[in-house]
Amino acid sequence: MKCDPVNEHDQERRRYSRVAVNRTGCLYTDDEKQYFAKIRDLSIGGACIKGKSSLSPGLRCQLELQENGRHSSQVIRLSAQIVRKNYDELALKFIDMDKESYMFLQTVLLYHVDDPLTIVSEFQDEFSNTPLSASC
C-alpha cells in the first residue's frame, strides 16, 4: 500500500519530490516513546515511514536519522507531524529543523535521487522562505 495522502494533503504531497531511500531511524513522541522506523521515502518537506503503529494523525514527533561514516557520525532530529496513517505506513510533514539538519537532509536526498536538478530547485525555494536565508 502506497503512502498517498487524502484530500486536504494532496496539494502538499505534490509540493516536493519524493526520493526512495533504504534508511532506518527512530521516531520519538512527546512522551519520549521510541519507535524504530524504516523510511520508505524522503523529501525536503517530509517522509513516509513503513510499519504498523498506534500513533495518530496530528501527533507531533521527532524523526532521528543517523549517519555513520568512516571518520565521523552525525545524528539529526527533524520535528514533524503525522499527517496521515494507513495500515502499514505513516506520512510525516517536517515542521522544524536546524541548519545542520537541513543541510544533512539535502545531502541525503541528493545522494539518493536520480536527477539532482529536480530537487535542487526545491531546496532553493524552501531555503528562501526560511530564516536561514538571511545568514547566507
Q: What is the pLDDT of residues 9-58, one digit of tens each?
A: 444 445 788 888 888 888 998 877 778 889 999 998 999 999 888 888 99
pLDDT score, position 25: 87
User: Cβ contacts of residue 104 below 8 Å, gap of 6+?
Assistant: 65, 67, 74, 76
Q: Is residue 1 one of the residues assigned to a domain? A: no
Over 50: is that where the pLDDT of 127 sits? Answer: no
What's the whole-model pTM score? 0.76
Q: Is residue 128 one of the residues assigned to a domain? A: yes
C-alpha grid cell, residue 20: 526512495
What's the 3-state SS for 40-71? EEECCCEEEEECCCCCCCCCEEEEEEEEECCC
Percent with pLDDT over 70 in the chain: 76
Q: Is residue 90 one of the residues assigned to a domain? A: yes
CATH assignment at residue 28 = 2.40.10.220
pLDDT score, position 131: 45
Over 80: is that where the pLDDT of 73 sits? Answer: no
Q: How far, in whole angstroms, is CA 61 from its chain's centroid? A: 11
Q: Is residue 2 one of the residues assigned to a domain? A: no
Q: Which residue has the higher pLDDT, 131 or 95?
A: 95
C-alpha grid cell, residue 88: 502499514
Q: Which range of residues forms the domain containing residue 120?
A: 7-135
- Strand 34-42 with 60-68, pairing: unpaired
Question: What is the number of domains present in the chain?
Answer: 1
Q: Is residue 108 one of the residues assigned to a domain? A: yes
C-alpha grid cell, residue 22: 533504504
Percent with pLDDT over 90 in the chain: 25
Mean pLDDT confidence for 75-81: 90
Query: Distance (Å, rounded) from C-alpha 80 to C-alpha 83?
Result: 9
